[in-house]
């Protein structure tokens, strides 16, 4: 089952939009315990874009990213991926979607500690349809020499680059990164971001990066700032800067 095959007939599809988000909302819990994490979000994200999400802690960035990645379902609004109604997809279809279309990079790497770098990548290439070789993915993030090391033997930055290699090895349509440099120092952060930027450029993968570092906005095509679950501000850069050119 290809998610794009689920395009509902008669639905207006914007040709180039990968994600089409309308009035998206998410409420966690019910009754007294209900927490509104997202409200009235409208977005169109296009192929090949590099998008940065900014916002205070608790503003709903991760919530939005998790909805885009099919980890969770919205409680209101529309969420379409290439015309397919992602917001109302069933569990099995979401799994399929994550498997085929999405690459994730998380703040805490989430590598499998009992597997080497190469094996962590191979784990995904084994189930993907048209993957690159694990070695190739590791080469893209500059980790060829450390391919046979276990996560515990790698630095945080190296672990995060393994996580990126794992995310991109299946040639995903979208790469979703939640604070990929959150646990890293500036210098290490730069190598990680360079890897992400390179993937975005070379593979043309729609990339969404959450960060607390406003400086990073300059590497993006577009920047959205969230506040209290709403998009407060959106901004399009006329020129994208390379990570190394940014004013750290």
Partner 1 sequence: MSLLDLKLLRDLRALKSQALAVALVMACGLAMMIMTRSLILSLDTARTGYYERHRFAEVFSSLKRAPKSVAAQIAALPGVAAVEASVAMQVTLDIPGMAEPATGLINSLPDRREPILNRPYLRTGRLPGPGARNEALVSEAFSDAHHLRPGDSISAILNGRKVTLRIAGIVLSPQFVFEAAPGAALPDNRSFGVFWMREEELAEAFNLEGAFNTVALTLAPGASERAVIAAVDRVLEPFGSLGAHGRKDHPSDVRVTDEIRVLKGLSFGFPLVFLSVAAFMTNAVMGRQIALQREQIAILKAFGFTNRQIGLHFVKFALVIVVTGTLAGVFGGWLLGRKLVDMYLLFFRFPALDFQLATGALVAAALASSAAALVGVIGAVRRVAALSPAEAMRPEPPASFRPAFFERIGVARWFGVSFRMSLRNIERKPVQAALTCAALALATGILVIPNSFRDGINHILNFQWDVSQRQTVTLSLVEPGPLRALADFRSLPGVVHAESFRSVPVELRTGSRSRRLAVSGIPADSHLARVIDANDRRIILPPQGVVLSKALADNLGLKPGDSVILRVLQGKRPERSVPVVALAEDFAGVAAYMDMEALNRLLGEGDRLSGARLTVAAGRWSEFLSAVKNTPQSAGVVVKEAVRASFRRTTAESIGLIQMIYLTFATAVAFGIVYNSARISLSERARELATLRVLGFTRGEVGSVLVGELVILTLVALPAGLVLGSFMAKAILVSVNTETVRLPLILTPSNYAFAVLVVATATAFSAALACRRLNQLDLVGALKAID
Ligand X SMILES: Nc1ncnc2c1ncn2[C@@H]1O[C@H](COP(=O)(O)OP(=O)(O)OP(=O)(O)O)[C@@H](O)[C@H]1O
Say how far apart CA 163 and CA 110 lie, in whole Å. Answer: 8
Could you write out the DSSP letters of every residue in 144-189?
A: GGGTT--GGGS-HHHHHHHHHHHHHTT--SEEEEESTTTTS-HHHH
Binding to ligand X, residues 49-88 (CB under 6 A): 55, 57-63
Does residue 108 sit in helix, strand or coil? coil
Say how far apart CA 216 and CA 154 lie, in whole Å. Answer: 25
H or E segment and range at residue 121: helix 117-125
* Site membership for partner 1, residue 224 (CB under 8 A): no
Binding to partner 1, residues 114-153 (CB under 8 A): 114-116, 119, 123-124, 126-127, 148-153
Does residue 52 sit in helix, strand or coil? strand
* Site membership for partner 1, residue 99 (CB under 8 A): yes
Distance set, CA 172 to CA 1, 76, 137, 146 (Å): 16, 27, 12, 24
**Using the rule CB under 5 A, which residue among 18, 21, 62, 225 binds Mg ion?**
62
Binding to partner 1, residues 147-186 (CB under 8 A): 148-153, 166, 178
**Using the rule CB under 8 A, which residue among 72, 194, 218, 228 binds partner 1?**
72
Query: CA end-to-end span of the chain, whole Å?
Result: 45
Q: How far is the CB of 90 from partner 1 (least distance, A)?
A: 12
* Site membership for Mg ion, residue 59 (CB under 5 A): no
Residue 95 near which of partner 1, ligand X, Mg ion, none (CB within 5-8 Å, type-dependent)? partner 1
- Beta-strand runs (E) in 29-153: 35-46, 50-55, 76-81, 84-85, 102-105
* Site membership for Mg ion, residue 63 (CB under 5 A): no
Q: How far is the CB of 169 from partner 1 (least distance, A)?
A: 11
Orientation angle between helical segments 156-168 and 186-203, nearest 10 degrees: 10
Q: Which is nearer to partner 1, 99 or 240 (CB)?
A: 99
Q: How far is the CB of 11 from partner 1 (least distance, A)?
A: 25
* Site membership for ligand X, residue 208 (CB under 6 A): no
**Cα 154 to the chain's mean position, in Å?**
23
Q: How far is the CB of 28 from ligand X (least distance, A)?
A: 3
Stretch that binds Mg ion, among 25-33, 60-68, 126-134, 166-174 (CB under 5 A): 60-68
| 57-88 burial: b if 16+ Cβ within 10 Å, else e | eebbbbbbbbbbbbebbbbebbbbbbbbbbbe
Interface residues with Mg ion (CB under 5 A) are: 62
Interface residues with partner 1 (CB under 8 A) are: 62, 66, 69, 71-72, 91-92, 95-100, 102, 104, 106-108, 110, 112-116, 119, 123-124, 126-127, 148-153, 166, 178
Interface residues with ligand X (CB under 6 A) are: 28-29, 35, 37, 55, 57-63
């Amino acid at each position: 089952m290809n998610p794009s095959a689920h395009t509902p007939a008669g639905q207006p599809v914007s040709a180039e939009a990968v994600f089409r988000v309308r009035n998206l909302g998410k409420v966690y819990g019910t009754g007294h315990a209900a927490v509104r994490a997202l409200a009235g979000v409208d977005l169109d994200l296009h192929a090949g874009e590099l998008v940065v999400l900014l916002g205070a802690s608790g503003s709903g960035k991760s919530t939005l990213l998790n909805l885009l990645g099919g980890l969770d379902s919205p409680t209101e609004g529309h969420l379409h991926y290439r015309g397919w109604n992602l917001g109302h997809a069933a569990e099995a279809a979401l799994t399929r979607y994550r498997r085929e279309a999405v690459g994730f990079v998380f703040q805490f790497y989430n590598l499998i500690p009992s597997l080497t770098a190469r094996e962590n990548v191979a784990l995904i290439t084994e189930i993907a349809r048209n993957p690159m070789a694990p070695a190739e993915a590791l080469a893209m993030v500059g980790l060829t020499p450390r391919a046979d090391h276990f996560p515990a033997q790698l630095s945080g930055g190296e672990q995060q680059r393994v996580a990126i290699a794992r995310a991109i090895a299946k040639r995903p349509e979208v790469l979703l990164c939640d604070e990929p440099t959150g646990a890293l120092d500036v210098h290490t952060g730069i190598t990680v971001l360079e890897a992400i930027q390179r993937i975005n450029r070379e593979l043309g993968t729609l990339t969404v990066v959450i960060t607390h570092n406003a400086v990073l906005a300059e590497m993006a095509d577009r920047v959205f700032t969230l506040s209290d679950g709403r998009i407060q501000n959106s901004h399009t850069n006329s020129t994208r800067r390379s990570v190394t050119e940014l004013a750290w």
